[in-house]
Amino acid sequence: MILEHDLEGMSGVEEVEHTADRAFHIRGRDLTELLRHAAQVMLALEGGPPTSECFVRRVIEVEGTDRETLLVNWLNEILYLEQTHQETYHHCLLHDVTDRHLRAQLYGRKLHHSVASVKAVTFHNLEVKESSEGLEATVVVDV
Amino acid sequence: MLSPHDFVRVEEFVWEIPTTYRPDMRVPARLYADEELLNIALTDNSIAQLVNTCTLPGIMQHAIAMPDIHQGYGFPIGGVVATRLPHGVISPGGVGYDINCGVRLLVSQATVEEIQPFLGEIACVLYSNCPSGVGARGSLRLTNPEVDEVLHEGARWMLGKGYADQEDLNHTEEFGRIPGADAAQVSQHAHERGRGQLGTLGAGNHFIEVDRIAEVWDHAIAARLKIYPDNVAVQIHCGSRGLGHQICEDYVSRFQKSVHDYGITLPDRELVCVPLDSAEGSEYLRAMACAANFAFANRQLLAHLIRQSFERVLERRTKDFNLYQVYDIAHNMAKIEEHEVDGHPLRLCVHRKGATRAFGPGSAVLPDDLRDIGQPVLIPGSMGTASYVLIGTTAAMRQTYGSTCHGAGRVMSRAKARKLVRGADLRQDLKSRGIVVCAGSMSGLAEEAPTAYKDVSRVVEVVHKAGIAKKIARLEPIAVIKG
């Protein structure tokens, strides 16, 4: 289980100031790690204490026209699954990641009540950039 | 970094950044503000975001920012951009994720003094009857065909179900239904996110608020709207919920490719857009209309639940607890409207993102009983502060495509507000001022602390003095219901 306060000190993630919404600077050694760290942010923002012992596993495929679109579509797919199925995920496994495609498994539990706080993940000034440590991007989330 | 020196003062409350500021600007940028609000606007990236919107193909005259402008994503919040049909663009990010987020105002002929003994009970029943939280689900379970009917019919769908009366629809922007909606342009994901959410409030800055009508400036117009001093009013602030969020996500993602197909270069990927006369543009407008109609229906159902709540608590305790609808406005929308530009009537797509339509007297699209006075404009304040009822003006039609501000406007990030304010302390402070608060989350309450916002009264003074809306009445909160 990941909760919002776990974001502080989370590896590869740093919250940056944004007047109305939430913004996160995310780093990864490669695209797979960047996508995993970005997912951790979403799981933390949307996460809550599981209110059910019912475990769930979701297998998903996501596509994009480039790295940025793949990143946003990936995070928005997690959001859609959590809010539609009233589930909270604590772990994700990514497979077969390219700049335009990924497969993933999400593990979590059912919630009796949604604790969702995110409306959408945006493309605002989004650019997946090369850095000395691998890749980095700043993602703005509409809350 | 922008500074006050980059602006030219063109009117007492109008400041302009000329196109010489940046080579990709097609038109100047204009800001409605006094000196203090201008300086506040320069403390975040909102003006840079406004300048970015000046690069959109087909933009008319100038991009406009209201005094409540603050940093958003792509477009700033508090912006108005008009593009010309047929070749100008439509930008989903210029509407935002919460399509047709808006405000509805109901008023009662009961006084605050009459309902005061039951106020705590009213707040509890409202909190229990009106589900809140981003993912909250309502009590109305719709089949797939029924969801599509709501997307096509908007608040009008509620009329046949006993959740609305004709007067409610007459006093709703676009009569509660945007024409041209086509549910076939709405993804399965969006349908699924919206299906259970009709009649729910959401989270963030959305709320239901019970108010006292504290001050009336124009008694004649106020009387036409059934607004009288010391009476009870109720505001609803919410939008199209997960359905609207998903529609915006779908089209912003899809237009990442389309924008290249049309050879459009932009300074920010969130501004992606397509020509209004393109197939993609038409599809977005039809999907957006669905979300807008869902939002009108959502606020209509919430109004019904609020009326039920008042009846449950006040029946046989007070004489007149009926709630009459003053108006319902949208403040995140793109609308095809006719406006006069340089003496010529032109069809424009007016993007209002965090801005309110404020049509003046004589506008043909207003209902018969409001046409001579203009459109009511509803400006909610931050939690615990005043809200305002204004009326649209002829000057707004000339200057701002019939638009004005939408609220107070944030100045502080949510993270900072949570660090500086404890939700429980804030609730206690509001309680000491006689304001009942029912909130789902203390951290959510802290994020919405008044210190995180500009002074709404100052914002309203600017639009009033600039002539782009006229003050009618001030409301003060007595109970707040939040997700």
Average pLDDT (B10-31) is: 98
Angle at which helices B279-314 and B188-195 pack, to 10 degrees? Answer: 10
Please write the tens of the pLDDT for every residue from B287-331.
999 999 999 999 999 999 999 999 999 999 998 899 999 999 999
> By the CB < 8 Å criterion, does A99 face chain B?
no
Q: State how far the alpha carbon of B55 is from the alpha carbons of B48, B50, B260, B270, B272, in Å.
A: 12, 10, 15, 13, 11
Q: Which two tokens stand for residue B86?
A: 């047929």
Q: Name residue, tokens 């969801």.
A: B147
Other residues' Cβ atoms within 10 Å of the Cβ of residue A95: 11
User: How far is A22 from chain B, CA to nearest CA, in Å?
Assistant: 8
Coil, strand or helix at B331: coil
Residue B390: its pLDDT value, please?
98
Q: Structure pTM?
A: 0.95
* Catalytically annotated residues of B: 406
Confidence category of residue B377, pLDDT binned at 50, 70, 90: very high
B424, part of any domain:
no
Confidence of residue A8 (pLDDT cuts 50, 70, 90): low
**Cβ B134–A80 below 8 Å, yes or no?**
no
Using the predicted structure, report yes or no on whether residue B134 has a pLDDT greater than 60: no
Residue of B nearest to A76 (CA): B249
Residue B441: the pLDDT is 80
Q: What is the pLDDT of residue A7?
A: 62
Report pLDDT for A56. 93
Contacts of B101 (CB under 8 A, 6+ apart): B206, B237, B238, B239, B240, B295, B330, B331, B332
Contacts of A19 in chain B (CB under 8 A): 44, 46, 70-71, 410-413
In sequence order, which residues have a C-beta less than 8 Å from that of residue B253 and are 6 or more positions away? A64, A69, A72, A73, A76, A123
Of A20, A84, A126, the CB nearest to B410: A20
Residue B259 corresponds to which tokens in the numbers above? Answer: 């924008």
Note the pLDDT of residue A4. Answer: 62
- Residue B384 covered by a domain: yes
Q: What is the ipTM of this complex?
A: 0.91
Residue B99 tokens read as 């399509």
pLDDT above 70 as % of chain B? 99
The residue behind tokens 């890749």 is A135
Which residue among A17, A21, A114 sits closest to B73, beta carbon to beta carbon?
A21
In a domain, B438, yes or no: no
Which residues of chain B does A143 touch, with a Cβ-Cβ cutoff of 8 Å? 204, 414
Between B166-180, B227-241, B339-353, B407-421, the lowest mean confidence (pLDDT) is in B407-421
Q: Is A132 on the interface with B (CB under 8 A)?
A: no
Asked if A20 reaches chain B (Cβ–Cβ under 8 Å), the answer is yes
Interface test with B, best of A13, A15, A83, A85 (most B CBs within 10 A): A83
Contacting residues of A for B193, CB less than 8 Å apart: 80, 83-84
Indicate which of A4, A14, A19, A89 best probes the interface with B, i.e. most B CBs within 10 Å of its own CB: A19
**The token pair that represents B483 in the structure block:** 């997700």
Domain-wise residue ranges, chain A: 4-142
From the list B71, B134, B270, which residue is nearest A123 (CB)? B270
Q: What residue numbers bound the domain in which B117 lies? A: 4-85+97-411+453-482
Beta bridge partners of A105: A59, A93
C-beta separation of B378 from B387 below 8 A = yes
Inter-chain touch A84–B192, beta carbons under 8 Å:
yes
Q: Which of A15, A115, A142 sits opposite B73 (nearest CB)?
A: A142
Segment 69-88 of chain A within 8 Å of chain B by CB: 69, 72-73, 76, 80, 82-84, 86
- pLDDT tens string B70-111: 999 999 999 999 999 999 999 999 999 999 999 999 999 999
CA distance B268 to B250: 17
Alpha carbons within 13 angstroms on the beta-carbon side of residue A136 total 12
Contact B106, B324 (CB under 8 A): yes
> For residue B343, what are the contacts with CB-CB under 8 A and spacing of at least 6?
none
Q: Does domain A4-142 have CATH number 3.55.10.10?
A: yes
The minimal CB distance from B414 to the residues A22, A116, A126 is found for A22
pLDDT tens-place string over residues A78-133: 999 998 998 889 899 999 999 999 999 999 998 876 666 789 999 999 999 999 99
Interchain CB contact of A14 with B (< 8 Å): no
Contact assignment for A123 to B256 by CB distance below 8 Å: yes
- B315 and B321 in contact (C-beta within 8 Å)? yes
Alpha-carbon dihedral sign for residues A37, A43, A46, A49: negative
Bridge-based pairing of strands B356-357 and B274-275 is: unpaired
Residues A12/A26, Cβ–Cβ less than 8 Å: yes
> Sign of dihedral through CA atoms B475, A18, B97, B198?
negative
Cross-chain Cβ contact A120/B97 below 8 Å: yes
DSSP-assigned letters across all residues of B91-116:
-GGGT-SSTT-EEEEEEEEEEHHHHG
Distance CA B395, CA B49 (A): 26
Cα-based torsion angle of the residue sequence B63, B65, B71, B72 in order, rounded to the nearest 10 degrees = -60
Does the distance separating the beta carbons of B189 and A117 come in below 8 Å?
A: no
Of the candidates B29, B32, B44, the residue with the CA atom closest to the CA atom of residue B355: B32
Number of domains forming the structure of chain B: 1
HEC sequence for chain A? CCCHHHHCCCCCEEEECCCCCEEEEEEECCHHHHHHHHHHHHHHHHCCCCCCCCEEEEEEEEECCCHHHHHHHHHHHHHHHHHHHCEEEEEEEEECCCCCEEEEEEEEEECCCCCCCCCEECCCCCCCEEECCEEEEEEEEEC
- Is residue B143 a part of any domain in this protein? yes
% of chain A residues with pLDDT over 70: 87
CATH of the domain at B401: 3.90.1860.10
Q: Are A82 and A88 in contact (CB under 8 A)?
A: yes
Distance CA B326, CA B279 (A): 38
Distance of CA A70 to the CA centre of its chain: 12
Q: Is residue B416 part of a domain?
A: no
